[in-house]
Amino acid sequence: MNIKLVVVSAFAGYAKGDVITDAPDIARVLASEAAHNVVRVAVQEG
């Protein structure tokens, strides 16, 4: 199962409602101070 991030508060060029699916971008956001601006959503493959 993979995850994606959904932006709940705008930051660094991302707007509320944007979806982040690129693995390096997900890791970068989650490791940053902006992690509180997103929620993780489980994505079932297939």
In DSSP notation, 33-44 reads: GGGGGEEEEEE-
Question: What phi and psi values does residue 22 have, to the nearest 5 degrees?
Answer: -75, 120
Q: Taking 80 as the threshold, does the pLDDT of residue 46 lie above it?
A: no
Other C-beta atoms lying within 10 Å of the C-beta of residue 32: 13
pTM greater than 0.85: yes
What are the distances in angstroms from CA 16 to CA 10, 32, 38? Answer: 5, 17, 9
Query: pLDDT tens-digit profile of 4-22?
Result: 999 999 999 999 999 999 9
Q: pLDDT at position 30, please?
A: 97
User: Considering Cα of 29, then 30, then 31, then 32, what sign does the dihedral take?
Assistant: positive
Q: Residues 16-40: what's their mean pLDDT?
A: 97
